[in-house]
Amino acid sequence: MKKSNLIWGLILIILGVVFGLNALNITNINIFFNGWWTLFLIIPGLVGLLDDNNKKGNLILLLVGILLLLSVRGIIDFSIVGRLIVPIILVLLGLLIIFKKEDKDYIVNDNVDYKDEIAVTFSNQNITIDEEITDKKASAVFGKLTLDLTKAKIKKDTTIKLEAVFGSVTLILPEGLDVKTKMTPIFGGVDNNYKNSGTKTVNIVADAIFGGVTIK
């Protein structure tokens, strides 16, 4: 059993018991304390650190939640928190990038030259490619990109880098590929729904920063 499942299960059981006892007038426990809403940041961040591979995003989520809780409770000045959140996030991201460990199953070649690049900014685009492709980079910044490669010719191992920053990228792949992924979601999400069914390898590097990446 995953630790995160155990913790979430216990939290729900405790909440159910408290609500039940309050409904029967046995207790009068007020769980809606001043700043209770920060638990929606603190608890997922804490639970995510136990099992989730996205240590960066969960750590930032936890620290932001704690800072907001302390400010709401009057322990620290809210105006100071507002000024420090962005600098703290930037410093943490910098440290995590410097000291991050490479994926044991798939180590991306940092020397990949993405000559074939698609970039979408402040717009929505649906792009279909039906020609042979090699290493490709696709990004959406404050926009939405759907990249359809179902008709593309992938004749050799290929690396595709996807970036979603305050936007979304959807990659649609043809059948018969072996997809390997390296994902870095930071306040975002990466959803890989592709079913491997081939020998030709496609390495996908997906970064989602306040955005989402979908592979199917």
Query: What is residue 170's predicted lDDT score, i.e. its pLDDT?
Result: 92
pLDDT above 70 as % of the chain: 82
CA distances from 167 to 54, 184, 191 (A): 19, 15, 14
CA distances from 124 to 119, 135, 140, 209, 215 (A): 11, 23, 9, 18, 17
Q: For the CA atoms of 72, 78, 82, 87, what is the dihedral angle to 10 degrees?
A: -100
pLDDT higher than 80, residue 85: no
Those residues whose C-beta lies under 8 Å from the C-beta of residue 56, and which sit 6 or more positions away, are: 92, 93, 96, 100, 184, 186
DSSP class of residue 171 equals E
Query: What is residue 131's predicted lDDT score, i.e. its pLDDT?
Result: 85
Which amino acid belongs to residue 38?
T
The domains of the chain are located at 3-99, 116-215
The answer to whether residues 189 and 213 touch, using CB atoms and an 8 Å cutoff, is yes
Alpha-carbon distance of 143 to 39, in angstroms, equals: 30
What confidence tier does 180 reach under pLDDT thresholds 50, 70, 90? confident
Query: What is residue 146's predicted lDDT score, i.e. its pLDDT?
Result: 92
**How many degrees, rounded to 5, is the angle at CA 42 between CA 39 and CA 43?**
80
Residue that has been written with the tokens 């930037």 in this structure: 90
